[in-house]
Structure 1
Amino acid sequence: MNPYIIEEFENGLLVFKINRPEKRNAISYEVMDGLEIALQKAGEKSVKALAITGEGNQAFCSGGDLSSFHSLKTEDEAFGMLSRMAGLLKEILFLPKPTIAILNGAAVGGGCELAAACDYRIANAGIKAGFIQGTLAITTGWGGGSIIMEKMLPANAMRMLMEAKLYSDEELKELGFIHSVFEGDPIEGCKSFLERMLMLESEVLEAYKSLLVKKWAAAGLEERIDQEVRRCSVLWEGEAHHNKVDSFLNNP
C-alpha cells in the first residue's frame, strides 16, 4: 500500500493524504518523500491551495513513527531526521499559496506540528489534538513550537506546549489552534471552508500569502525553527527520552 496519496481536484485544490491508517498515519521517511513530491506539484499554476490530511477517521497524524525513529540514538542521528522534516514544514509555511490541515482524526505530537505549519486548520467534530512531546522528555522537533508562537496568542501556545496533553475540538477552537469544526466527509469540509478563496485567481491568493511570508521572514522564523530543531536533537540523545520511548513502545 502506498504510504501517501496525492490528488488534484478541478477547483485547484491539491490534497496530500497520509495513507498509513494501520500506523495512525505516522510520519515515515516514505511519507516525507511524498510530501516533497506534493510540495513540488503545489507550485504548478493549476494549483490554488494545498490541503494535508490522513486516511480514515481515527488519526490525522500521530507524529513521527517511533518504531522507525527510535533507532536514532545520538544527537546527530536525530538531527538528520528532525531537520529534514522541519525543512518540509518550512516549505509548507512559505508556500506562496494557502495551505490547510484537515484534521480527520487525532493530531498528536509531530502531527500537531504538521498541522501548525498550514495556514488554516479545520477539524472533524470529536477529534483530539495536542503537543505531547514533553511526555517523551523532548520538545517539538520539527519547528512546531516556533510556528504556533507566530500563529496563536503566545500564552495559549505556551499552554499547549507545556501541558503536553490532548485537547477536545472545543478547547482547540477556544485556544485558537483550529479555525473551524466540520462533520462528515473531510474533503467536502475542506472544499466548503475554502470555497470562496478558490473562486479567486491564483495570483491574488499568492499576493496575499506573500504578505504573511514577508512578515515571518522579517521575524526570523526560519532561524528560530532551526534553533528549535537543534535543541530537540540534544534532548533526543538523553537517557530520559530513550527510557520514555522504550516504556511507550512496550506498554502502548
Structure 2
Amino acid sequence: MAYQNILAEIRSQVLYVTINRELKLNALNKETLAELADVIAFAAHNDEVRAVLLTGAGEKAFVAGADISEFAAYTAEQGEVLARNGQNSVFDAIENCPKPVIAAINGFALGGGLELAMACHIRVASENARLGLPEVSLGLIPGYGGTQRLTQLVGKGRAIEMITTADMITAAHAEKIGLVNHVVPAAELLSKVEEILAKIKLRAPLAIASAVKAVNASLLFDENGFETEIREFGKCFDTNDFKEGTTAFLEKRKPAFLGK
C-alpha cells in the first residue's frame, strides 16, 4: 500500500498505520484524512488483517491537531461539511471497524489528534504524551466527535472542563480518568500495544467483531444495546469459529480460529 502521508504495512496479521508527517507533528490535512479513510476501509474488509495499530511518526507527536491553514477561511456551511465528511469517513469508520484499532500515543495528541485516538477502541500512551482539545482557543469546538467521545470516556464534568479550559493533561492523568488504558515508558510503547494485540489475535475474529458492535451499541441513543448483543450472540452460533472454540475446549486444546 503506497500513500503520501501515511505508512501502512501488514505484519503478523496486524496492519501497522503510521501518520508520516513528522515535520508537521503529524497534523491532519485533507490528504491525510483521505488516506486514513482508505486504509481503515481496507482493514475492515481484508481477511488477513486481524487488528490495526495506529501511531504517529517520531517521538514528539501522535497527531498534534488538524492543519488549521486549510480551513481558516471557511464559512459555517463549509465547516459543517468538513466535520461531517471527516466523521463519516474516518472517525466513525475507525470506531465501527470490526477489527480492533489500538492507538499508540507517542507525544502530543491534541485536537483532531485526540479525537482520532478516542475513535480507536483502545489507547496506550507513552509517559511523555500530552492530551487535550484546545479548539476553543481558536474560536471553535471539537468537530470530529470530541465532545461526544470524551464525555463517554471521562464523564460530563471532566469533558466540559477539558474542553472549556483547553488545558493539556499528562498521560498519567489521562489514565487516572479513563481516557487511556495504559501508560508506559516511551521505549515500551509499541511492545505494550503488541502484547495486547497478541492476545486479541488468539481469539475468534468474528466474535471480536460482534463484541465491538455490541459495545458500540451501548452508546447509541437510537439502538437497544441489549438487543444488539442478543442478535450478535446468536450469530456467533452459526460460525465455524464457535464450533472450533467449543470443540477445542472440550478436547482440552488451544483453538485455531480462521475467522469463518
Normalised by the shorter chain, which TM-score bucket?
A: 0.7 to 0.9
Deviation, 1:219, is 5.0
Greater relative CO, 1 or 2 (CA 8 Å, sep 6+): 1
Are the counterparts in 1 of residues 65 and 110 from structure 2 also a CA contact under 8 Å?
yes
Say which SS state the counterpart of residue 17 (structure 1) adopts: strand
Matched, 1:17 2:18: yes
Residues 85-164 of structure 1 mapped to structure 2, 5 A cutoff? 85-87=86-88, 88-164=90-166
Tell me which moved more, 25-34 or 177-186: 177-186
User: Are residues 2 and 132 of structure 1, via their aligned partners in 2, closer, same or farther at CA, if it must alter by over 3 Å?
Assistant: same
Q: Which runs of 4+ in 1 moved over 6 A?
A: none
Deviation, 1:134, is 1.4
Matched-pair identity in %: 24
The residue that corresponds to 1:240 in the other structure is none
CA distance in 2, matches of 1:205, 1:138: 36
Task: Name which one, 1 or 2, has greater alpha-carbon Rg.
Answer: 2
Deviation, 1:101, is 1.1
Which blocks of at least 5 consecutive residues in structure 1 are unaligned?
221-252
User: Are residues 186 and 7 of structure 1, via their aligned partners in 2, closer, same or farther at CA, if it must alter by over 3 Å?
Assistant: farther
CA distance in 1, matches of 2:213, 2:179: 22
Which blocks of at least 5 consecutive residues in structure 2 are unaligned?
224-260
The residue that corresponds to 2:84 in the other structure is 83
Deviation, 1:194, is 2.6
Out of 43, 54, 57, the position equivalent to 1:55 is: 57
Say which SS state the counterpart of residue 76 (structure 1) adopts: helix
Aligned residue pairs, count: 218
* Aligned Cα root-mean-square deviation (Å): 1.8
Deviation, 1:218, is 4.0
Are the counterparts in 2 of residues 26 and 64 from structure 1 also a CA contact under 8 Å?
yes
CA distance in 1, matches of 2:50, 2:161: 34
The residue that corresponds to 2:194 in the other structure is 191
Are the counterparts in 1 of residues 94 and 101 from structure 2 also a CA contact under 8 Å?
yes
